[in-house]
Amino acid sequence: MGISKDNLTGFILALLSSGFIGASFIIKKIGLRRAAAASGVRAGVGGYSYLMEPLWWLGMITMVIGEVANFVAYAFAPAVLVTPLGALSIIVSAALAHFILNERLHQREYWANNASPVLSVNCYTCTTRAANLSVQEYMDMCNTAG
């Protein structure tokens, strides 16, 4: 039994969605930093100069693209496949923040960094098992569970 074409399409869209959403946080943060440097007022204290920053808008557009891809993924694949992949955007964002923004995790957050490979394996296992289910098998499983 192989992966159905619809499930594969939904899986790929969900992965792309996580990439776009994770990257959008980094792009917006760079835009916020540029705007704060140019105006001297941060957005957190009432500054609105970031609205004139093209990079911030690029980040917003990237996020919208990611959210649309996520929404469309639900049309092709069951929620049991698409939903866990949404958590990958956090991992993408953390990795990009480390490499692009030179950010580091605080000492109390290292456990999450060390646990992420285990969580990734669990996420992979769940999603690949779900990808192998046909929509009808998924519906039968849901009907017998409740």
Q: What is the pLDDT of residues 86-115, one digit of tens each?
A: 888 888 888 889 889 988 866 555 555 556
Four-residue CA torsion sign, 40, 46, 52, 57 = positive
Residue 145 reports pLDDT greater than 60: no
Amino acid letter for position 77: A
Instruction: State the amino acid at position 137 in one-letter form.
Output: E
Q: Within its chain, how far is the Cα of 66 from the centroid?
A: 8
Count Cα atoms within 13 angstroms, Cβ side, for 118: 5
Q: Is the dihedral of CA 135, 3, 126, 80 positive or negative?
A: negative
Burial level of 97, CB count in 10 A (0-12/13-18/19+)? middle
Residues in the chain: 146
Q: With contact defined as beta carbons under 8 Å apart, do 14 and 82 qualify?
A: yes
What's the domain range around 77?
A: 5-145
Closest alpha carbon to 126 in 86, 73, 72, 71: 86
Query: Which of 97, 57, 76 has its CA nearest to residue 16?
Result: 76
Q: What is the pTM of this model?
A: 0.72
How far, in Å, CA of 86 to CA of 30, rounded?
23
pLDDT, tens digit, for every residue of 27-79? Answer: 999 998 998 888 888 777 777 888 889 999 999 999 999 999 999 999 998 88
Query: Number of structural domains, the chain?
Result: 1
CA dist., res. 6 & res. 80, Å (int): 14
